Amino acid sequence: MFLPELIVFDLDFTLWDCGGTWCDCLSPPFRMQKDRIVDRGGRHVRFYSDVVSIFDLCDERQISTALASRTEQPEWAKELLRLLDVMHRFAFSEIYPSSKLIHFASLFQSTGVAYDRMLFFDDEMRNIREVAELGVTSVFVEDGLTREVFDNGLEQFSKKHA
């Protein structure tokens, strides 16, 4: 199987659930409560159940990972990632209010990885369409990232490069 050089993940509704809303709609301060983060309003933030094992698989296969998240509260997103103890999993992150096209241009500049060597997972079809136009293999995540969706994305990427 031909593997991507860089896998890029969106955050909200792709890697995590923030109590049914986006992370920039939460209410800090955040605190750990068992395996979840809770905001001031009692909303829970947690990774979807397959996400950590997907990170492990990327590590095992030595595939670099990055984040591309459009949020009005980038510091909140970064704090949540720190509390979940996963910042070390990502070689690059583009977390700020902007177009995914700008996120990917920045990733291209900082990594040197060609767009056609990237794989992207996101829950918004407009982002999938925009980023796919760059040549990035882009996978729609309908209800949180699962291992099945991830494996299908790897297969789609590999077939594109066969």
Tell me the catalytic residues: 10, 12
DSSP state letters, the chain: -PPPSEEEE--BTTTEEETTB-GGGS-SPPEEETTEEE-TT--EEEE-TTHHHHHHHHHHTT-EEEEEE--S-HHHHHHHHHHTT-GGG-SEEEESSS-HHHHHHHHHHHH---GGGEEEEES-HHHHHHHHTTT-EEEE-SSS--HHHHHHHHHHHHHHT-
